[in-house]
């Protein structure tokens, strides 16, 4: 069974930084794509950043130049480095990954979510 565990959320002041992590465990053959989503109160969940197995990345316009997504394949872990945080970044952040298991079946998994709050 595959599981994603997030950590790193918290309360920071505007202009500060946080690093979120997403650790995948279980019978993993390969993590194909890993991304970060966020959802603020009263708003729909939106894609923040994505990183593919080859290392290519995409970012939402609102976070370009401030956020960096990365992955450590040896640790089956993904990261989201968030710099120059703004109050509008406040949201619950979710890790998402498309993972091929050792049974060679690909499935999309979600983390439990971690709260990021940025004060002005």
- Note the pLDDT tens digit of each residue in 14-62: 999 999 999 999 999 999 999 999 999 999 999 999 999 999 999 999 9
pLDDT at site 45: 97
> What percent of the chain is modeled with pLDDT above 70?
100
For tokens 């976070």, name the residue: 63
What is the rounded CA–CA span in Å between residue 31 and residue 69?
A: 15
**Confidence band (pLDDT; 50, 70, 90) for 78?**
very high
What is the rounded CA–CA span in Å between residue 79 and residue 26?
A: 18
**Average pLDDT of the chain?**
97
pLDDT at site 14: 98
Q: How far is CA 21 from CA 24, 76, 118, in A?
A: 10, 11, 18
> What percent of the chain is modeled with pLDDT above 90?
98
Q: How many CA atoms lie within 13 A of 60 on its CB side?
A: 15
pLDDT at site 1: 84
Query: Residue 16: which residues within 8 A CB-CB, separation 6 or more?
Result: 85, 118
Q: How many CA atoms lie within 13 A of 63 on its CB side?
A: 25
């Amino acid at each position: 069974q595959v599981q994603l565990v997030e950590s790193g959320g918290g309360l920071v002041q505007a202009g500060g930084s946080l690093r979120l992590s997403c650790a995948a465990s279980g019978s993993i053959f390969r993590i194909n794509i890993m991304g970060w989503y966020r959802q603020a109160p009263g708003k729909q969940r939106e894609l923040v950043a994505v990183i593919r197995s080859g290392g290519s990345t995409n970012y939402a316009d609102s976070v370009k130049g401030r956020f960096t997504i990365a992955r450590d394949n040896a640790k089956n872990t993904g990261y989201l480095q968030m710099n120059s945080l703004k109050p509008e970044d406040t949201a619950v952040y979710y890790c998402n990954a498309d993972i091929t298991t050792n049974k060679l079946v690909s499935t999309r998994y979600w983390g439990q979510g971690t709260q990021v709050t940025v004060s002005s």
